[in-house]
Amino acid sequence: MRSILRLGFVSSFIPKKCGIATFSRDLMNGISDNFPSNQMVVAAAENDNESYIYPESVIAILKTNDLDSYRRAAAKFNQLKLDAVMLQHEFGLYGGKRAKFVHEGVVHDDPTGDNIFTLLDNLTSPIISTLHTVLPYPDPARKAVTREIAERSAMVVTMSQDSKRILCADYQIAENKIVVIPHGVPKKVNKSRPSILKGLGLDPDNFYLVITGLISPNKGVDLVIQALPKILAKHPNVRLLVVGQTHPQVLASEGEGYRDSLKAIAKKLSVDGAVTFVNKYLETEQLMEYISAADIYLTPHRDPEQSASGTLAYAVGTDRLSISTPYRYAQELLGKNRGFLVPFEDPISIAINVNRLIDDGELREITRKKLKIYGDKMAWPVVGKAYLKIIEDYVIKP
């Protein structure tokens, strides 16, 4: 490895309230944990109507549909003679031509993200691309964009073996060009559970179900609320914490309609006293405290093709017992008896599994041991080291 490592990141970035923004910040820190002698700079992607005050590491801004901003970013990166550029790819970040496709019977008309090629085609440094969404059976437009990104990249990173399989089978991307590196997880909260509960103002005598993240209908919070009557009938000390603000896109288009509907369901079922909404965006440290407070963590998401979930990764990485619908990423993380999968749109199965876990202490303990073995591999310093190995093996050594 060189004495000084110079890396560029293309991504949304903090303080933008976005999972990929947090991912990039944490990946940079994970790399620095292993290789402090580095220079890391960022080209931050933001929508045309957004404006943020960024840290000094952000040296360029990509406005979604301003191609000149992509050219300027490439020029700034090239001036620094970077060892590698780390692209964090999500279709919605990079604008471009729109294309219609059908997903779960619904017709979508979304940008394909092909504006990113204005940046990639002007870079002189090798590219390592992390694909945050891998669509099975892709429409032609998104398949073409994904294949072109792979062709321009020295290596492609996915966060699950399933995503790698899809890239090989559905996109015809060579297997030896794809590396699987798990989603990183922050350090575990260095506090006792009673201390965590006290700090959050939570009663230690209660049993907590926790859902976190940007709230939208896809989160399936309503399904857990519908499961509460059967749970509370057996275990009246159960409480549900719904932690996170409404997703900005949902808020812009629908306001707080979904959150209001959740409150209405809880009131109708007479379980509103057992549901608490923490309606704010949490920085990673406080988010980890809420996840650490969970007796059971839930991701009853509705999209079966979802290929990543930062919040479920955080839960697994902190040994939290988890119940989830079987979307692709959850199947992999919670497989081999590391967690519990329930059918989509099935509150009764959620209730059965919650009650079973509360009643069976031996099952809880066995599952936690399996989670710890798996979760230790997901710490950000471990993930940062894996990315450094790619840089050394496929970018610098050749």
Q: How far apart are CA 370 and CA 377, in angstroms?
A: 12
Would you state the pLDDT for residue 352?
Answer: 98
pLDDT band at 228 (very low <50, low <70, confident <90, very high): very high
Q: Is the dihedral of CA 210, 214, 220, 222 positive or negative?
A: positive
pTM flag (> 0.85): yes
Mean pLDDT of the chain: 94
pLDDT greater than 90 at residue 235: yes
**Is the pLDDT at 105 greater than 70, yes or no?**
no
308 pLDDT above the threshold of 90? no
What is the rounded distance in angstroms from the CA atom of residue 308 to the CA atom of residue 197? 28
Q: What is the DSSP string of 155-198?
A: EEEESSHHHHHHHHHHH---GGGEEE-PPPBPPPP-S-HHHHHH
Q: What angle do CA 73, 75, 78 make, to 5 degrees?
A: 110
Q: What is the mean pLDDT of residues 293-314?
A: 93
Q: Is the pLDDT of residue 395 over 90?
A: no
DSSP characters for 183-237? Answer: PPBPPPP-S-HHHHHHHTT--TTSEEEEEESSB-GGG-HHHHHHHHHHHHHH-TT
Q: What is the model's pLDDT at position 19?
A: 87
What's the pLDDT score for residue 103? 60
The full set of domains in the chain, from first to last, is 5-184+379-396 (3.40.50.2000), 193-377 (3.40.50.2000)
Using 50, 70 and 90 to split pLDDT, how confident is the model at 17?
A: confident
Are the CB atoms for 127 and 84 separated by under 8 Å? Answer: yes
